[in-house]
């Protein structure tokens, strides 16, 4: 009896392969956006659940130290604080090590580049500071001259008013005599 085997799988034609790759490339951004959207929704749900649970729990309820004993009001859990500090220190060391391993230049070149950048920033700060000083001096000069002009005009107006009153008083004095 002859065995029947499945026909060999048909290979896609080159044109079909190109169309398939083009379809995948066109769909990739949509699929990535959907994955990000789902991840954000999941994260939002988890945060909402935690906040709800925290709001519903009475204040101080369930608070315990790392050793399991209840935490007194206003007390500090030094074990947790120490673990947090250790985590920060380990993270800083790992970050520094990674930075050293992945640095694109040698330490000497990096120091020179940082010094040059710091010098440029310093020069820009000095320039901006000088510009600010110039603007303040200009504004002060302008304000001073405006105030000075206003004072002179006010003095003139006062002198004119005084002279008018004197003239009116003289006229009244002449008419009474």
What is the pLDDT averaged over residues 52-57? 70
- Structural domain includes residue 31: yes
- Structural domain includes residue 45: yes
- Structural domain includes residue 124: no
List all residues 6 or more positions away from 63 whose beta carbon is below 8 Å from its beta carbon.
Answer: 70, 71
- Structural domain includes residue 141: no
**Number of folded domains that form the chain:** 1
Model confidence band, residue 1 (pLDDT cutoffs 50, 70, 90): very low
Percent helix, percent strand, percent coil in the chain, to nearest 5: 80, 0, 20
Model confidence band, residue 64 (pLDDT cutoffs 50, 70, 90): low
pTM of the model: 0.33
Q: Is the dihedral of CA 126, 132, 136, 142 positive or negative?
A: positive
Of residues 154 and 46, more confidence is placed in 154
Of residues 153 and 36, more confidence is placed in 153
Domain that holds residue 27: 18-52
Of residues 168 and 76, more confidence is placed in 168
> In the 8-state DSSP scheme, what is residue 68?
S
- Structural domain includes residue 130: no
Phi, psi of 64 (to 5 degrees): -145, 155
- Structural domain includes residue 35: yes
- Structural domain includes residue 86: no
């Amino acid at each position: 009896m002859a065995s029947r085997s499945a026909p060999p799988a048909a290979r896609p034609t080159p044109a079909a392969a190109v169309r398939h790759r083009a379809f995948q490339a066109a769909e990739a951004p949509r699929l990535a956006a959907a994955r990000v959207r789902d991840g954000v929704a999941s994260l939002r749900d988890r945060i909402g659940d935690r906040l709800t649970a925290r709001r519903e729990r009475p204040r101080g309820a369930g608070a315990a130290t790392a050793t399991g004993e209840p935490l007194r009001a206003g007390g500090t859990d030094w074990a947790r604080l120490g673990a947090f500090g250790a985590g920060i220190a380990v993270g800083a060391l790992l970050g520094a090590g990674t930075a050293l391993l992945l640095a694109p230049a040698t330490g000497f070149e990096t120091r020179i580049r940082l010094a040059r950048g710091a010098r440029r920033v310093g020069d820009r700060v000095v320039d901006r500071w000088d510009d600010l000083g110039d603007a303040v001096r200009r504004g002060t000069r302008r304000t001073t001259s405006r105030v000075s002009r206003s004072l002179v005009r006010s003095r003139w107006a006062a002198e004119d008013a005084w002279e008018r009153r004197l003239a009116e008083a003289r006229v009244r004095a002449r008419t009474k005599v």
